[in-house]
Amino acid sequence: MKKLLATTALMISMQAAQAWEALPEKAPAPADNPVTTAKVELGKTLYFDPRLSVNGTQSCNSCHNVMAGGDDNRAFSQGATGKLGGRSAPTVWNAAFQSVQFWDGRAESLEAQAAGPITNPVEMGMPSAKAAEDRLKQIPGYKALFKQAFGTEEITMDLITKAIASYERTLITPNSPYDRFVKGDKQALTAEQQAGMKLFEAVGCASCHSGANFSGPTMAPGQGFYMSFPVFKDNAYVEKYDLMKDKGREEATGKPEDAHKYRVPTLRNIALTAPYFHNGSVKNLDEAVRVMAKTQLNKDLTEEQVQKISAFLEGLTGEFPEQTLPRLPGTHGTTLLAP
């Protein structure tokens, strides 16, 4: 009996230890798109090039600013022609560890995600994939970059998105105070943050925001980790922040059973990516903690609990690899953009 109890205690201890994972320093890549230096350089150039938008005003970085928290700190992003999107732009930092892409999971990979905004009429506004390809083909310097990255001067949407995805797989923010703490540095988190870490688990936050990326368990490619939001609808927050207007994943699948389901977002660098939620309706982190506790777990937190959990979430801010602006290939003596 004593041996059984000891074994059970060890298993519980091991499970508790496994619940807190440090962020890997390398992101997984699909077999048909291994990350190479040349692909990353091309992808970075494309990521920052506004000429991938219909009027040359919008790049990937416009809404997913890697010089900051990987988003644009707006409730809804503004596209190339001034229209506003319908959801808040999620951070691109550590997106490679998300189970699927977009709030509703309609893209199974970074490659699939990268294609969406380019031809979305509200975002970058290119009329077609061919239009984007033709635009780049008219910029002489891109042929050499594609040759270096893929061994061909051919420019296709498939190769464009593979390059952008390769760059995005380098956007990882390891070594946060939390990461150092779980690796053994018990001074990396403050006493308040450590208390918040315990509350984060005890209250139930970790039931969804688990794993190294705090976005749920590792899933098979193309399989997303989704949760309903809100779960508990009979509270003032639901109306105050208009949480029922958006149908979530149902808008992508057309299935009523997917109503108000969303991919669980990462909590890494969450202190830098306000406003919060799919509709950017909550401006500060403390309030987001209150809303999540009530709408997802039906719990009313004390202000002390809110402060401690928020302090822990601050400890998820990692180290950002230095980003330098690429030199974009030019069109000597002419422009491709309409006046």
Q: Domains in the chain: how many in total? A: 2
User: Are 237 and 260 contained in the same domain?
Assistant: yes
Q: What is the pLDDT of residues 178-192, one digit of tens each?
A: 999 999 999 999 999
Residue 246, pLDDT > 60, answer yes
323 CB-contact burial (10 Å; exposed 0-12 / middle 13-18 / buried 19+): middle
User: Are 149 and 184 contained in the same domain?
Assistant: no
Pick 222 or 249 by higher pLDDT: 249
What does the pLDDT average to over 18-30?
90
- The first and second tokens of residue 245, run together, are 């207007």
C-alpha dihedral sign at 94, 99, 105, 108: positive
Asked if the structure places residue 322 within a domain, the reply is no
Q: Cα(99)–Cα(160) distance, rounded to whole angstroms?
A: 22
DSSP 8-state symbol, 153: -
Q: Please state, in angstroms and as integers, the Cα–Cα distance from residue 47 to each residue in 39, 54, 165, 179, 263, following that order.
A: 12, 15, 9, 28, 24
What does the pLDDT average to over 101-120?
97
- Out of 168, 186, 212, pick the residue that ends a domain: 168
User: Are 202 and 99 contained in the same domain?
Assistant: no
Residue 15, pLDDT > 60, answer no
**Per-residue pLDDT, 127:** 97
Q: What is the pLDDT of residues 290-337, one digit of tens each?
A: 999 999 999 999 999 999 999 999 999 999 999 999 999 999 999 999
Q: Which residues belong to the active site?
A: 123
pLDDT above 90 covers a percentage of the chain that reads 92
Residue 5, pLDDT > 60, answer no
User: Are 69 and 130 contained in the same domain?
Assistant: yes
**Per-residue pLDDT, 241:** 98
Which residues partner with 84 through β-bridges? 78
Asked if the structure places residue 10 within a domain, the reply is no
Residue 250, pLDDT > 80, answer yes
Neighbours of 84 (CB within 10 A): 11
Asked if the structure places residue 49 within a domain, the reply is yes
Q: What is the pLDDT of residues 163-180, one digit of tens each?
A: 999 999 999 999 999 999
Asked if the structure places residue 85 within a domain, the reply is yes
- Out of 144, 168, 192, pick the residue that ends a domain: 168
**Per-residue pLDDT, 339:** 77
User: Are 181 and 309 contained in the same domain?
Assistant: yes
CATH number at residue 224: 1.10.760.10
**Per-residue pLDDT, 12:** 35
Mean pLDDT of the chain: 94
Q: Cα(217)–Cα(250) distance, rounded to whole angstroms?
A: 22
Q: Please state, in angstroms and as integers, the Cα–Cα distance from residue 175 to each residue in 24, 33, 99, 212, 319, following that order.
A: 9, 27, 21, 12, 6
- The first and second tokens of residue 5, run together, are 């109890």
Domain limits at 306?
A: 177-314
pLDDT class of 218 with cuts at 50, 70, 90: confident
Asked if the structure places residue 339 within a domain, the reply is no
Asked if the structure places residue 323 within a domain, the reply is no
Residue 2, pLDDT > 90, answer no
Residue 8, pLDDT > 50, answer no
- Out of 149, 168, 187, pick the residue that ends a domain: 168
